[in-house]
């Protein structure tokens, strides 16, 4: 059997919190807080829209979350500046370990980017970081009109990656994503980039926990040996 890999993008391969640097001119010392709240609300809004069956492009969630974060700090943006920040979101920088890890795994495992983001957004941000050519395909929730962690999204990922009854392993730094994948029957590696972060106690465990993507090749070998 072939193990296929599905990489989450935002927070796993590219860093949304890097927007704090650009927000300094708008939020000053509050930039890091605004960036963190922006990311938190982006994910929350997607959850809520999925539950409400009120799907909108992830970019809509991102823009609405930016407005909420700024308003929460009693700050505002011009329409032009808001558009600039949204455009910059399509060029988020990759984590330092993303490119070398994907290069190391290329040709060993079929690899797919699997994201709440739309195809144009994924092509832009992955292309910006030279990651796009390393993937065998992209999988967007836009095809399902829902968001992770909807079980339908993970079921679709099986079909879209060609996994079907073969193993599909999510790689994600988002604990909620890992829990969703495991609940849907996928394997899932949690990338615990910050050792102060804890995994929610839902009686659902990751298949493996790594401190960074550089540890992924060895973790995958261990998973395969355990399954043999």
> Exposed, middle or buried by CB within 10 Å (0-12, 13-18, 19+), for 147?
buried
38, 20 Cβ separation under 8 angstroms: no
How far, in Å, are 8, 87, 132, 222, 225 from residue 209 at the CA level? 15, 33, 25, 12, 16
The alpha carbons of the chain give a radius of gyration, in whole angstroms, of 17
Catalytic residues: 8
Tokens 């009686």 -> residue: 203
How far, in Å, are 34, 69, 174, 178, 189 from residue 208 at the CA level? 31, 33, 13, 10, 5
């Amino acid at each position: 059997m072939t193990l296929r890999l599905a990489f989450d993008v935002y927070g796993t391969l590219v860093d949304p919190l890097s927007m704090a640097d650009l927000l300094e001119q708008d939020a000053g010392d509050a930039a890091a807080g605004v960036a963190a709240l922006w990311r938190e609300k982006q994910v929350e809004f997607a959850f809520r829209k999925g539950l409400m069956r009120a799907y909108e492009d992830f970019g809509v969630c991102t823009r609405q979350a930016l407005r909420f974060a700024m308003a929460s700090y009693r700050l505002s943006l011009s329409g032009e500046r808001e558009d600039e920040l949204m455009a910059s979101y399509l060029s988020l920088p990759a984590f330092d370990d993303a490119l070398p890890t994907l290069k190391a795994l290329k040709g060993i495992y079929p690899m797919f980017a699997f994201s709440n983001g739309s195809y144009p957004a994924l092509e832009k941000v992955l292309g910006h970081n030279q990651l796009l050519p390393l993937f065998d395909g992209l999988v967007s929730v836009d095809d399902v009109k829902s968001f992770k962690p909807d079980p339908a999204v993970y079921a679709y990922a099986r079909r879209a990656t060609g996994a079907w009854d073969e193993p599909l392993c999510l790689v994600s730094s988002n604990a909620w994503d890992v829990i969703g994948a495991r609940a849907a029957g996928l394997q899932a590696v949690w990338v615990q980039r910050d050792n102060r972060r804890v995994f929610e106690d839902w009686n659902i465990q990751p298949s493996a926990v790594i401190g960074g993507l550089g540890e992924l090749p060895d973790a995958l070998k261990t998973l395969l040996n355990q399954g043999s």
